[in-house]
Chains A and B, each alone.
Chain A
Amino acid sequence: AGTGGVPRAQPRHLCPFPAVTSEQIEHLHRRFKQLSQDQLTIRKENFDSIPDLEFNPIRGKIVHAFFDKRNLRQESDGLADEINFEDFLTIMSYFRPIEMNMDEEQLDRFRKEKLKFLFHMYDSDHDGKITLQEYRNVVEELLSGNPHLEKESARSIADGAMMEAASICVGQMGPDQVYEGITFEDFLKMWQGIDIETKMHVRFLNVDTIAHCY
């Protein structure tokens, strides 16, 4: 298969921790070829060929996250048009499970990486803050699987959540103070109670079944 050989050497410069195993890279490469139809790069349209993704209410954001330059660790901003296998791997590396021999500092960095990924998904206009409108957008998308629901419910939920976030992050606010949006530090505060490092991972171990595309 002359379509970009499987990179045997682990792309260490991309991930600060030990990368995924070569077996997993093999599997992902096979999947990448399937998705890209044997091309070198993937575009947004390639993701439409995954049948199960249609039911996902936030598929737009997920696909978007793959092309978000901030996640691809490139210095620039904005959206890439296409990604190659290395970028694909980079995105996948955000979902690696926690290793047993990590020390505190590594764990903290691990956690921050994952939360940063999530933050970029919420913050669609790339301004470093999750504004009320963006949060409303998120809730609307989450509820988009129910066609008969009105926007009003989504809005009230988002507003309530935003107020709760404001009170967690800033505490007491006077009537004339305005809370601009959730910054990354506030976001970290909100997630303090939840063990993101144990929750945000995907098992790559079982490699016998590969779902098919159209």
Chain B
Amino acid sequence: IPSVSSIVPESCLLIVVGLLVGGLIKGVGEKPPILKSDIFFLFLLPPIILDAGYFLPLRPFTENLGTILIFAVVGTLWNAFFLGGLMYAVCQLGGPGLNHIGLLANLLFGSIISAVDPVAVLAVFEEIHINELLHILVFGESLLNDAVTVVLYHLFEEFASFEQVTILDIILGFFSFFVVSLGGVLVGVIYGVIAAFTSRFTSHIRVIEPLFVFLYSYMAYLSAELFHLSGIMALIAAGVVMRPYVEANISHKSHTTIKYFLKMWSSVSETLIFIFLGVSTVAGHHYWNWTFVISTLFFCLIARVLGVLVLTWFINKFRIVKLTPKDQFIIAYGGLRGAIAFSLGYLLDYKHFGMRDMFLTAIITVIFFTVFVQGMTIRPLVDLLAVKKKQETKRSINEEIHTQFLDHLLTGIEDICGHYGHHHWKDKLNRFNKKYVKKCLIAGERSKEPQLIAFYHKMEMKQAIELVESGGIGKIPSAVSTVSIQNINPQSLPLERVLPALSKDKEEEIRKILRTNLQKTRQRLRSYNRHTLVADPYEEAWNQMLLRRQKARQLEQKMNNYLTVPAHRVDSPTMSRARIGSDPLAYEPKEDSENLPIITIDPASPQSPESVDLMSEEPKGCSGLPPSPEEDEEGLVMRVKEPSSPGTDDVFTPGASDSPSNQRMLRCLSDPGPRPEPEEGEPFIPKGQ
């Protein structure tokens, strides 16, 4: 038995709920609230657009940008003028009730109703899982046509108050389109760059990183709207520009926060918008004129179909991957109207537009028709026409390698052909980005990290987190468990480090250590001071481990027998207290020292480079054996701890008391005691082990 939600898209149900609520309120005798335009444009719309822009799949978007722009600009213009003109004709012929509506009013009405609405498109298309190309075409069009709508709307509104419209006004109007769209994009880009730059310095205040993303994006929107530029385009541009740099700078938790907040806000907004639409329908003053409304509906559909057909014929001359008739049908059918049209209509001034109520009625009818009829039938139609659906591919490292390889290959072929094509310019942009922009906007080491490495680290991290979260022994992802390095390279040393494959005993070690130390964290995290919310010890340790592994390898090449203790920054007392509070492994020499993974080093063993990373801190007592400068020359002889588990060093930071200066200070303060000879093989770690 098909459930209601599989037949009726969520947007329809929400409108029905709105209708019921509105009816209820009216029935009680109160006046139901109407969706006010400023609430809509200032509070309800931005989260949805930001969510769309921040998570915009950039690759298909840029590949199809030409097509999307043509649909958005030319298509919307065509719709507006065609519809406006035809409605004017209808009004002239429509009898006394409609005769007084002038051409300008009709054109304005046409411009309001002709724009495809991103909210409605998102709501419906997300449920039908259509293939990426069609999704990005319709969705991209709905986002970019905002510029056209804004220009036309303000233009016609202004003209309606003029006595006469001259050619100069029209030409100026034409140019204002470029100003509005490019200006909006520029504003967005500026704010995006500022946000990226700000995120470079937020490594000490990770908690408010998401706030910067939201604030700067919203400011971009408001700034653009302030100057009557296209706010939606500003928002999209800001999101797209800031995303790669911000994601390289912020912590994993902030990234998750941003993702969930954006999704949450956009869900809430969308729900509210549709419910309000329903309520406003009940609440508003309506003026139903059969001729006007029915002809509006009819001509809307005709305009859309004609527009798509003609434009596709034109676009297909330039596209490599042509749009089939099936695609064209879906594009035409997916042109849904929504709340933006309603809000724009609501904004109309009664003084200039006496027929505002009639317009609103017609707008609501069209919205209802597209959302209910088209929204409900598009899913069975997609199945009927066997339109290609979205392929659920997991992003794998193989795919990433192949994609990059293909990119370089195609760029190379283009260079050989002597043809400055799509790939050539993309490659140039990437090189420019790598050389100049990334250095400014990304903090520290990450600015030099090539994309492949960044992707690989992200996947490693994800797998490690999955591993920890899955907890149980049996739930290891099958891709990892059975194929190990033995299967592909039998000659390599069994202990060779290949990160995605964690053998069973390594996992056990990690899990055991994590379990014991996670409990400690919970006990100690009592303070709620925001300064104590320091970086996640595991994530920071992860990054530090990667860095240290790099350095360790360099070390190994130079000095085989030496052990270098990584320097530690000097912290303020608050920070060090905080770190004591949150990092389970540091600064607690007295507790459970046998639980701490104590790894010692035998320089002769093959795994020594890895094991350099982890050492336990020494107790505050005098029996410590700090590596003083004279000792360094002799070197330190270490023992290898069994079981050999290089995996354990993955997660924990060493204690701070290892720094040479700290130890020297401890030595001075405490009674040093006799120093055992290093040749005895005395381990670096005192008798706790």
Contact = CB atoms under 8 A, between A and B. Distances in A.
State yes or no: do A and B come from one complex: yes
Interface of A: 27-28, 31, 34-35, 47, 50, 52-53, 55-59, 62, 92, 95, 97-98, 100, 118, 121, 132, 138-139, 142-143, 145-146, 148-150, 152-153, 156-157, 159-168, 170, 172-179, 190-191, 193-194, 198-207, 209-211
A62 B406 contact: no
Interface string B478-522: 111011111111100000011111000000000000000000000
Contacts of B422: 203
A163 B456 CA distance: 14
B489 A193 contact: no
Nearest to A197: B321
- Which of A170, A175, A190, A211 neighbours the largest number of chain B CB atoms within 10 Å of its CB? A211
Given A173-B483, A178-B487, A31 B417 contact: yes
A147 B414 CA distance: 25
Contacts of A191: 402
Interface stretch (B374-382, B392-400, B641-649, B673-681): B392-400
Given A97-B321, A167-B478, A175-B486, A156 B497 contact: yes
Given A138-B405, A167-B482, A178-B490, A160 B456 contact: yes
A164 B487 contact: no
A190 B403 CA distance: 12
B453 A142 contact: no
Nearest to B496: A159
A74 B409 CA distance: 22
Contact of A166 (B420, B453, B488, B497): B488
Given A53-B415, A157-B397, A166-B487, A152 B553 contact: yes
- Which of B398, B417, B489 neighbours the largest number of chain A CB atoms within 10 Å of its CB? B417
B321 to A, nearest CB: 5
25 contacts: A34-B418, A56-B408, A59-B412, A95-B413, A98-B321, A118-B409, A132-B488, A142-B408, A143-B452, A150-B553, A156-B498, A157-B453, A159-B489, A161-B401, A163-B487, A163-B488, A164-B396, A168-B398, A170-B483, A172-B483, A173-B482, A193-B393, A194-B393, A198-B320, A210-B418
A157 B452 contact: yes
B670 interface: no
Contact of A199 (B401, B406, B431, B483): B406
Contacts of B484: 163, 175
B418 A31 contact: yes
B485 to A, nearest CB: 6
B613 to A, nearest CB: 14
- Which of A118, A150, A164, A172 neighbours the largest number of chain B CB atoms within 10 Å of its CB? A164
B498 A193 contact: no
B416 interface: yes
Contacts of B410: 95, 200, 202
B296 interface: no
B450 interface: yes
Nearest to A166: B483
B420 to A, nearest CB: 5
A211 B393 CA distance: 38
Contacts of A55: 427, 431
A199 B448 CA distance: 28
Nearest to A30: B418
A25 B501 CA distance: 50
Contacts of B661: none
Contacts of A156: 456, 497-499
Contacts of A163: 479-480, 483-485, 487-488, 498, 500-501
A53 B408 contact: no
A193 B399 contact: yes
A165 B398 contact: yes
Contacts of B553: 150, 152
Interface in B59-76: none
Contacts of B354: none
B483 A211 contact: no
A202 B414 contact: yes
A100 B322 contact: yes
A159 B485 CA distance: 7
B318 to A, nearest CB: 8
Contact of B419 (A157, A164, A206): A206
Given A203-B419, A203-B421, A204-B417, A194 B402 contact: yes
Contact of B417 (A58, A92, A159, A198): A92
B498 A160 contact: yes
B396 A53 contact: no
A53 B448 CA distance: 22
A122 to B, nearest CB: 8
- Which of A34, A56, A148 neighbours the largest number of chain B CB atoms within 10 Å of its CB? A56
A194 B399 contact: yes
B411 interface: yes
B424 interface: yes
B487 A206 contact: no
B321 A209 contact: no
